[in-house]
Structure formats: C-alpha cells, structure tokens
Amino acid sequence: MSRESLGLSAHLQDYLLGASLRESEPARELRTLTGRRNDSSMQIAPEQGQFMAFLLKLTGARRVLEIGTFTGYSALVMAESLPDDGRIVTLDRNEETT
C-alpha cells in the first residue's frame, strides 16, 4: 500500500485531495501521525479510505473484519461509515502499532 495514489504527479495528487477528499478530523490527525513513522508506507492512501467507506455504504455493510490493522487509519475510516449498530473487528500481530 501507499500513502498516496501511485502514478500521479504531486500536482495532480494535491488537486485530487483538495477537490474530493472528505476526511474527519480524527482520521486526518491519525494519518498525519502515522505519516511520520519510518514504516508509514503500510498505511493506505486517504482516497483509498474514502473509497472503502463508499463501498461499505453502497453495500449496506454492518460488519467489517480487518486483518492487518497497522495504526488503525483504515479501521477508523470504515468505522465512521458504518451504521450505529455496525461493528468492526480488527486483527494485527504487531502490538506496537495497534
């Protein structure tokens, strides 16, 4: 995974995020903190998180199982898109990041 979309110029990436990204403040803060880590390339890009949230809403998902949580950015974004009775379970073997 990557913190940004692959193959986009920096200018196009900035435009994409500025024009279309809808990210909560907690998600933005977590993404920023995770971006400072040496292993931050394990985090998904914010537009990928937004797409995952869209798919959950589109399908009416109420339950999510995430295997490989890292710092929890994708889990947070997905949890925010679930209905009030939704549930997300995350699994990761690295206690340092989760």
User: Where residue 20 sits, what CATH number does that domain have?
Assistant: 3.40.50.150
Domain of residue 25, residue span: 10-91
- Entry pTM: 0.82
| Beta-carbon count within 10 A of 31 CB | 21
| Beta-carbon count within 10 A of 67 CB | 9
Q: How far is CA 28 from CA 25, 58, 76, 81, in A?
A: 5, 23, 10, 15
* 3-class SS of residue 61: coil
The answer to whether residue 29 is domain-embedded is yes
**Average pLDDT rounded to a whole number, residues 66-82:** 96
The answer to whether residue 4 is domain-embedded is no
Confidence of residue 1 (pLDDT cuts 50, 70, 90): very low
The answer to whether residue 78 is domain-embedded is yes
The answer to whether residue 37 is domain-embedded is yes
> Using one digit for the tens of pLDDT, what is the confidence trace for 3-43?
556 677 888 888 888 888 889 999 999 999 999 999 999 99
Give the rounded distance of the alpha carbon of 67 from its chain centre: 13
Confidence of residue 71 (pLDDT cuts 50, 70, 90): very high
Cα(54)–Cα(8) distance, integer angstroms = 22
